[in-house]
Chains A and B, each alone.
Chain A
Amino acid sequence: MRKRGYFGIFGGQFVPELLMPALLELEQAYEKYINDVQFKRELSYLFKNYAGRPTPIYYAKNFTRIAGGARILLKREDLNHTGSHKLNNCLGQALLAKNMGKKRIIAETGAGQHGVATATACALLGLECHVYMGKEDTIRQELNVFRMKMLGTEVIPVESGTQTLKDAINEAMRDWVTTVKTTHYIIGSVVGPHPFPIMVRNFQSIIGQEALQQLPEYGIDIPDYIIACVGGGSNAMGIFHPFVDTKARLIGVEAGGRGANVGDHSSSLGRGEQGVFHGKRSYFLQNEYGQISPAHSIAAGLDYPGVGPEHAYYKETGRAQYVSITDEEAIYAYKKLAREEGIIPALESAHALAYALKLAPTIPESQTILINLSGRGDKDIITTKIN
């Protein structure tokens, strides 16, 4: 057996030959540093004193009341520095890249949250940073483009294909095959070739690990349900993974967009088929000849026609359940949380909130739903105003 990095039949390393040495180097460096005392100390210092972790768990009493059923708790990743969970992974990978002697960082971004987090980690650690972003996304998430530039990062608008996240990844890959000796590619989700899905999941697992510590404050050890939105799936994997061996029911919420037609949604697990793309075997939106279909979501961070291989595995084994929420339902939940709790959530996270609004009334008040509120929604004000 030559292949590595699988979750059941999903995962692997489907990349151009030129990238293989870099993946092997990364795998070795990751295994070395993840157990290195100095590295761990530095990362946990940054999590605590730079990013502001642990992020709290908040009992959303008003939101619970309007949902009308189970108690709803929010894991406040929106309070993490830069406004989303993305920084957890970026601090980890940037620190790793620095230890590996890489001087140049590239990244892709959809909503811009990962781009901003990468730009932030690079500013902090003195690394040169270039972020690829679909042209359509640079327009609908303009605020984040300004933030990245302010942080000293070059933002490269991608005009090929659908001009969204998948095309930004294509362009970042093309950059990487050319510059692989000096450059590290900080992939922003639990996608891409091995070791990225495992590495990103492990850096994000701080979310679920903290939750395990914090839940006793609310009189429970394990919540009955955990809900998170799924694009590539990093915030979901971050909160799910530490609970995999518990009785908590795990629910990933994909973007249902405008409807079930091709090009109208981003439900790779719900409506996609198995395939190989962007370095991994997983589920993808594709046509009968294996051409990747365009995705859609009002939330740029979910607008991707694929999903992390570990989610594909959880779907196959039934460990997690995957559902979808439409653009309209997400906007409704976005506005509700703002009005009821004074928290403006990211449109991505609003998908998880919207599903909780459906689920909560169907289960007893004695049960608890933990939602990963993965990011804050300042970036989405214009989008929600238009819609």
Chain B
Amino acid sequence: MNRLNTHFNNLKNKNEKALILYITAGDPNINTTFEIMKALAENGADCIELGIPFSDPMADGPVIQRASTRALKNDVNVDLIFSIVKRFREHFQTPMVLMGYFNTILRYGMEAFVDTFKKAGGDGLIIADLPYEEGEDFENICKTRDVSLIYLISPEMGSERTRNILSVTDGFVYCISHYGTTGGESKTENLDGIIDSIKSMTDLPVAVGFGISTLQQARNAGRIADGIIIGSWLIKELEKTNDKPKVASQFTKTLKQAIS
């Protein structure tokens, strides 16, 4: 049981929904990222998803691409990211998840990456380009170190594939709400039915992400799912301001309220 598992259990017992917030690490610099993480945690975020900037983020839309580019201009790297996870963990118990591309992990060394992340106080990993087919080795490495490997699940339903993924995913189920890159327009019909169907197949909490960009969408997704994941919308709001921790605080409060 890591922090993700216990925190989501607590939420379930209290009948609360989870607010999972994504920011890109090092956007615009590593210290600001730390201040934003503090603001998210202090105002009720249930999980912080920290994006590892990648030179070629092919699963991401324009907003996260921009964030990635800004971070890489400042030479942000995995070691720096581990260091802020560690710093954060000295003050907060909010579950921490890293999201990135597989080459980053492979280059670092799969075991070394998970070991270092765990030691820094990390809880889960989401890898944009590691589907079920390729995940077997890495899954085992994560499992033995009690780090949750969180697979994504597409809106295509009823398949054997969904069951297979559900049988190995951990932490929470990351349900993609529509076909597209991150931050795209959300327009999936029958999202309720899709989430219901996933919930009937698993005991894990089901969170919905990709393209939530209005309070109404957040409320709708929060009504049916166990949690919502917001990234591009938050980054867009942060791009507009110089006082990023303040905007991050307000954003978290507003969203947490919207889904409670």
Contacts and interface: CB of A to CB of B under 8 A. Distances in A.
B59 interface: yes
Nearest to B102: A276
A178 B58 CA distance: 12
Nearest to B174: A17
A157 B251 CA distance: 36
B103 A290 contact: yes
B207 to A, nearest CB: 15
Interface of B: 54-61, 65, 72, 77-78, 102-108, 128-136, 151-154, 156, 159, 161, 165, 176, 179-181, 184
Given A14-B130, A14-B131, A275-B103, A291 B154 contact: no
Given A17-B152, A178-B181, A275 B107 contact: yes
A4 interface: yes
Contacts, number: 112
Interface string A209-240: 00000000000000000000000000000000
A14 B59 contact: no
Contacts of B77: 289
A279 B102 CA distance: 10
Interface residues of A, number: 40
A342 interface: no
A170 B133 CA distance: 21
A279 B108 CA distance: 19
B133 A4 contact: yes
B55 A291 contact: yes
B153 A178 contact: no
Contacts of B179: 18, 177-181
Contacts of A15: 129, 131
Contact of A18 (B56, B57, B65, B176): B176
A170 B136 contact: no
Given A1-B136, A16-B58, 8 more contacts: A16-B152, A17-B152, A170-B57, A174-B61, A174-B181, A276-B102, A290-B106, A292-B55
B101 to A, nearest CB: 8
A277 interface: yes
Contacts of B131: 13-17, 20
A247 interface: no
Nearest to B107: A290
Contact of A20 (B55, B57, B106, B133): B133
A180 B153 CA distance: 15
